[in-house]
Amino acid sequence: MGIHDKNRGAVLSYQHAFHAGNHADVIKHLCWLGVINSLKKKDKPFTLYDSHAGAGTYDLTGEMAGKNQEFLTGISAISNITPTSDLLSCYLARCKTFLASNSYPGSPAISATEKRRGDQLHLMELHPAEYVKLEQNIKQLRVENVRVHKRDGYEGLRALTPPKPNRGAVLIDPPYERLVEYKDVVKGVENILKRWQQAQIVVWYPLLSARAGTKHGASEQMVEQLTTLGRPCFKAEICVSDNEHDAGMYGSGVLVLNPPWQLDDQLSVALSEAVEHMGVNATSKLVWLNEDA
């Protein structure tokens, strides 16, 4: 989750380390891993795109992650369970490698370590400090065919899609610090689908209570607008508290456009099992918005 300003003069302030490994990361990375696993079922190479990549990996003992310790009710709450879900098992196995050194894998690290040698990965990050960390962290993984770009994510997606061969997926994961970012997502997805109709697209979004002011309901409106694009899509959500006025971010979700076959079942089962360990108020749901014809 990096930052994106589209030359609007916004301060590049967001750094995901404060939230690394939280409930939002759990649903986002479970879903993204499910997409990658599906692409790997065929031998033909694919390309992955991460529009707001962030730092790649995160030190859970660092000052930023330690400030709110959001990982305690996220990845730490489920890291020692023995899951029955194949997708949850795969996710926890990937995280275990990083957790052994007190770190958490962001989506760039998950993509880099899960893709095959012949597959491509493009990581976009505009925040100067995050970009430097991303370059260093990806270099340490020693994975081939990974490009790290210091550029606006949506501009990068316009320039780099569609891939050849025409297989792959896009993760769009902005910080939503500004209200305009919700509209940016819709425009960004529209631009991708105009040139790459088969793109599998995962959009993460926060669920915000009334305390968020003008952002309250913005995610729901964005999901509605993305649904009108007419592509097969479902949304999956985790809620960790009730939607009361002062709850803040009470949960988050992913909207998946052109989802791979059976991802809905795999993700639904994984989330249902995960939330059992993420607090007494934690719940999950998955709803199809446009059925696949």
d(CA 107, CA 125): 12
Closest alpha carbon to 282 in 268, 293, 272, 292: 272
d(CA 39, CA 54): 23
Counted domains in the chain: 1
**Which has more pLDDT, 234 or 14?**
234
pLDDT tens per residue, range 116-135:
999 999 999 999 999 999 99
Helix axes 86-99, 23-39, angle to 10 degrees: 110
Where in the sequence is the domain holding 160, given as residue range(s)? 16-290
Cα-Cα-Cα-Cα torsion 178, 185, 27, 117, nearest 10 degrees, comes to -120
Closest alpha carbon to 201 in 235, 176, 224, 177: 235
- With respect to residue 258, please indicate whether it lies within any of the assigned structural domains: yes
- With respect to residue 1, please indicate whether it lies within any of the assigned structural domains: no
CATH number at residue 196: 3.40.50.150
pLDDT tens per residue, range 170-219:
999 999 989 999 999 999 999 999 999 999 999 999 999 888 888 989 99
DSSP element (H, E) containing 222: helix 218-227
- With respect to residue 115, please indicate whether it lies within any of the assigned structural domains: yes
Q: Which residue has the tokens 């309250």?
A: 216
- With respect to residue 4, please indicate whether it lies within any of the assigned structural domains: no
- With respect to residue 171, please indicate whether it lies within any of the assigned structural domains: yes
CA atoms within 13 A of residue 42's CA, in its CB half-sphere:
12
Q: What would the mean pLDDT of 223-248 be, rounded to a whole number? A: 91
pLDDT at 69: 64
Closest alpha carbon to 184 in 158, 160, 210: 158
- With respect to residue 161, please indicate whether it lies within any of the assigned structural domains: yes
Catalytic annotation, pick one of 25, 50, 173, 184 = 173
pLDDT at 90: 96
- With respect to residue 178, please indicate whether it lies within any of the assigned structural domains: yes
Is the bond into 165 cis (omega within 30 degrees of 0)?
yes
Enumerate residues 6+ apart whose C-beta is below 8 A from 197. Answer: none
Does 10 have pLDDT greater than 60?
Answer: no
d(CA 137, CA 133): 6
- With respect to residue 8, please indicate whether it lies within any of the assigned structural domains: no
pLDDT tens per residue, range 240-293:
988 778 777 899 999 999 999 999 999 999 999 999 999 899 999 999 999 864
Query: Is 59 marked active-site?
Result: no
